[in-house]
Amino acid sequence: MRSHLLNDTTAEQYRRSVTDGVERVAAKLATTERPFTGVTVDALAPAIDAIDLDKPLHDTAAVLDELEDVYLRDAVYFHHPRYLAHLNCPVVIPAVLGEAVLSAVNSSLDTWDQSAGGTLIERKLIDWTNERIGLGPAADGVFTSGGTQSNLQALLLAREEAKTDTLAKLRIFASEVSHFSVKKSAKLLGLGQDAVVSIPVDHDKRMQTVALARELERCKQDGLVPMAVVATAGTTDFGSIDPLPEIAELCEQFGTWMHVDAAYGCGLLASLKHRDRLNGIERADSVTVDYHKSFFQPVSSSAVLVRDAATLRHATYHAEYLNPRRMVEERIPNQVDKSLQTTRRFDALKLWMTLRTMGADGIGQLFDEVCELAREGWKLLAGDPRFDVVVEPSLSTLVFRYIPAAVTDPAEIDRANLYARKALFASGDAIIAGTKVGARHYLKFTLLNPETQASDIAAVLDLIAGHAEQYLGESLDRAS
Q: Which residues bind ligand PLP (CB under 6 A)?
A: 87, 146-148, 151, 179, 181, 232, 234, 236, 261, 263-264, 290, 302
Beta carbon nearer to ligand PLP, 437 or 468: 437
- The Cα 287–Cα 306 span in angstroms is 6
Beta carbon nearer to ligand PLP, 151 or 396: 151
- The Cα 81–Cα 34 span in angstroms is 9
Report the half-sphere exposure of 473 (CA within 13 A, side-chain side).
Answer: 7
Instruction: Name residues whose C-beta falls within 8 Å of residue 248's C-beta, 6 or more positions apart in sequence.
Output: 258, 280, 283, 284
To 10 degrees, what angle do helices 454-479 and 410-427 make?
A: 120
Q: How far is the CB of 285 from ligand PLP (least distance, A)?
A: 17
Q: Write the CA distances from 350 to 10, 347, 378, 427, integer angstroms.
A: 25, 6, 33, 34
Q: How far is CA 269 from the centre of its chain?
A: 15
Beta carbon nearer to ligand PLP, 87 or 312: 87
Q: How far is the CB of 417 from ligand PLP (least distance, A)?
A: 21
DSSP-assigned states of every residue in 339-400: -S-SS---THHHHHHHHHHT-HHHHHHHHHHHHHHHHHHHHHHHT-TTEEE----SSSEEEE
Beta carbon nearer to ligand PLP, 390 or 416: 390
Q: How far is the CB of 17 from ligand PLP (least distance, A)?
A: 30
Q: How far is the CB of 235 from ligand PLP (least distance, A)?
A: 6
Q: How far is the CB of 87 from ligand PLP (least distance, A)?
A: 5
Q: How far is the CB of 86 from ligand PLP (least distance, A)?
A: 7
Q: What's the order of all strands across the beta sheet hosting 440-446?
A: 83-84, 431-437, 440-446, 397-402, 387-389
Instruction: Name residues whose C-beta falls within 8 Å of residue 418's C-beta, 6 or more positions apart in sequence.
Output: 434, 441
Q: How far is the CB of 436 from ligand PLP (least distance, A)?
A: 16
Beta carbon nearer to ligand PLP, 148 or 323: 148
Beta carbon nearer to ligand PLP, 181 or 286: 181
Closest to 290 in 3D by CA, of 186, 158, 154: 154
Beta carbon nearer to ligand PLP, 236 or 417: 236
Closest to 86 in 3D by CA, of 421, 432, 329, 326: 432
Q: How far is the CB of 333 from ligand PLP (least distance, A)?
A: 25
Q: How many CB atoms lie within 10 A of CB 180?
A: 11
Q: How far is the CB of 299 from ligand PLP (least distance, A)?
A: 8
Beta carbon nearer to ligand PLP, 196 or 461: 196
196 close to 175: Cβ distance less than 8 angstroms: no
Beta carbon nearer to ligand PLP, 243 or 428: 243
Q: Which residue is nearest to ligand PLP (CB)?
A: 147
Q: Write the CA distances from 449 to 22, 115, 460, integer angstroms.
A: 22, 33, 15
